[in-house]
Chain A
Amino acid sequence: MSGFGIGALKSYPCVEDQDLPDQDLPAGIIEIERLSKVFDTAHRDRHLALSDISVTVADGQFVSIVGPSGCGKSTLLYVVGGFVQPTSGRVQVMGKPVLGPGPDRGPVFQEFALFPWKTVLGNVSYGLIEQGMARREAEARARALIELVHLKGYEHFYPKELSGGMKQRVAIARTLAYGPSILLMDEPFGALDAHTRTRLQNELLEIWERDRKTVMFVTHSVDEAVFLSDRVFVMTRSPGRIKSIVDITLPRPRRRAELLVDRRYQDYVVGIERQMDDPPEAGGT
């Protein structure tokens, strides 16, 4: 009896791992292959939002997607997040096909999307408690994150009592809390005034420098993309396609004041704006 059991167990190691082509996989943590998305519009004509997109994002890379409004850049992000199903093509994250949303991919939206019935502390600890962590421990971790996003002292405020910039800090902390390996940021600073926006860009880079999570960052602002990213995907409108991929080799850590007078930074911004559909004078922000 026992001999039979051992024999059955022994047969496993022979096939294990050998057939899986680990080495063939590119280093991409996100792999998008021939992705298309068609929306059915109200008047029954079909709108091709994304057309045949194939890109790879490497682990630890900060990637921005820029393009004119309506080019499908947010849709691309939602497909990676699992919130929107593609019409054709495939998306893999860490070697596994995306079937739906999951805690490995943390979204941050322009609309903040905080839970208004929860305090700052309640929002930030929500994901941790949801994943089974004890409340005390979850709140301790949440407090550390609240401090990281410079909101110490606001733990018991409700979202309605916060300004836009503070709400987005809470949203970032809430997403960081449950430890996603990828951040999906959908025009996170788009609803903020210029001053707050600059501050949050700096804070985001500071946070990112600590553990260099993979970031997919959608924006319509070319200089924001160049300032933040290692790599910029430039998209064109109708149908949404990747027009070009620009590697930003500016040194880190980046300081805004230095970059603005840096010729290379200016060349990146002007070069990308030229590639966008919109005329250059309308593209820059």
Chain B
Amino acid sequence: MVDEALAAAHPGARQRERMTLATIPGLPPVLACLALFLAWDLTARAVAIDSLPSPWSALKEVPAILGDGEAIGNIFASLRRMAIGLILAIVCAIPIGLMMGRSRAVAAFCNPLMMVIYPVPKAALMPIIMLWLGVGEAAKILVIFLGVSLPVIYHSYQGGRAVEEKMLWSAAAMGMTARARLFRIALPAALPEIMVGVRTGLVLALITMVTSEMIARQNGVGNILFNSLDMAQYQTVYGMIIVIGVLGFVLDAAFQMLRGVLVAWAEPAQPIIVGST
């Protein structure tokens, strides 16, 4: 029985012994970055225009950006509104998606709405939202909120739908009410799938954040990016793009760590694919 359990616990134990270049932690992403910079450098040399500086001059701008108090303030302003939009969206979207997944009536009502709203680029709504809410914080948070909500709703819906009925029956036999089953059984059971949606949502939050800031320019990374562009400070533009890229990478890595802790119990079933919407 012990052997049985060990075999079940470590299905990948045997593969893990093989060590290649690709299995050294941290190496593949570094190699990928180097390859990207190399391609960029070659292209920049070939076209030789002002608006495409070499990656090395762009990289040199990064410490300058990070050393500038005003730029740091902008970055934190961006992260703050992104976090608010993200958290609000997660809090609202998960219950909606779960209820859609567990109730055919709710799904029949919400699904068409979702399918209409999902493909609309949320940043395209920015001008209208600015008419309602002005150019301030609220408009940007709302756009981020909309951008994040849909993938989270969608994956919560799929996750909720896939919850094994017998698991809910087992809970019902213990005397759990429908509400308790939704939040204490369906929610954790669907969590691995919900996490896929939240990861997509995180990337989308970053994208809509930058886009909203470039439309309603006040502060934030999108603002720096496009002000520099207006002033033809191309090194700063590309330096900022690198900062945003690294920001996305770090946020995603942090999220993956969180996800590893929250759903460590899950069977390794769902490979995570980041949506492109």
Interface residues of A (CB under 8 A from B): 78, 81-83, 100-103, 105-107, 109, 111, 113-118, 126-127, 130-131, 150, 154, 157-163, 165-166, 171, 174-175, 178, 180
List A contacts of B194 (CB < 8 A).
none
List B contacts of A115 (CB < 8 A).
167, 185, 188-189
The 7 A-B pairs of least Cβ separation, nearest first, read A113-B166, A101-B172, A161-B9, A127-B174, A163-B4, A109-B166, A113-B167
Residues 151-181 of chain B: 1 if any A CB is under 8 Å from the residue's CB, otherwise 0?
A: 0000000000000101101111111100000
List B contacts of A150 (CB < 8 A).
1
Q: How far is the CB of B157 from chain A (nearest CB, A)?
A: 20
Closest to A112 in B: B166
Please tell me which one of the listed residues B8, B263, B265 contacts residue A163 in the complex, with CB atoms under 8 A apart. B8
Closest to B180 in A: A130
Contact between A100 and B5, CB atoms less than 8 A apart: no
Other than A115-B185, A154-B5, give 4 A-B pairs with Cβ distance below 8 A. A116-B265, A130-B171, A130-B176, A165-B4
Please tell me which one of the listed residues B7, B8, B169, B188 contacts residue A113 in the complex, with CB atoms under 8 A apart. B169
Contact between A130 and B5, CB atoms less than 8 A apart: no
A/B interface sample: 28 pairs, CB < 8 A: A101-B169, A102-B173, A107-B166, A107-B169, A109-B169, A113-B164, A113-B167, A113-B169, A115-B167, A116-B265, A117-B188, A117-B189, A117-B191, A118-B265, A127-B175, A130-B171, A130-B175, A150-B1, A159-B265, A160-B8, A160-B266, A161-B8, A161-B9, A162-B5, A162-B8, A163-B5, A165-B4, A166-B1
List B contacts of A113 (CB < 8 A).
164, 166-167, 169-170
The complex places the Cα of A115 from the Cα of B174 at a distance, in Å, of 13
Closest to A110 in B: B166
List B contacts of A162 (CB < 8 A).
5, 8
The complex places the Cα of A10 from the Cα of B231 at a distance, in Å, of 96
Does B267 sit at the interface, judged by CB under 8 A?
yes
Q: How far is the CB of B214 from chain A (nearest CB, A)?
A: 41
Contact between B189 and A116, CB atoms less than 8 A apart: yes
Assuming the A-B contacts A111-B166, A113-B167, A115-B167, are A101 and B173 also in contact, with contact meaning beta carbons closer than 8 angstroms in the complex?
yes
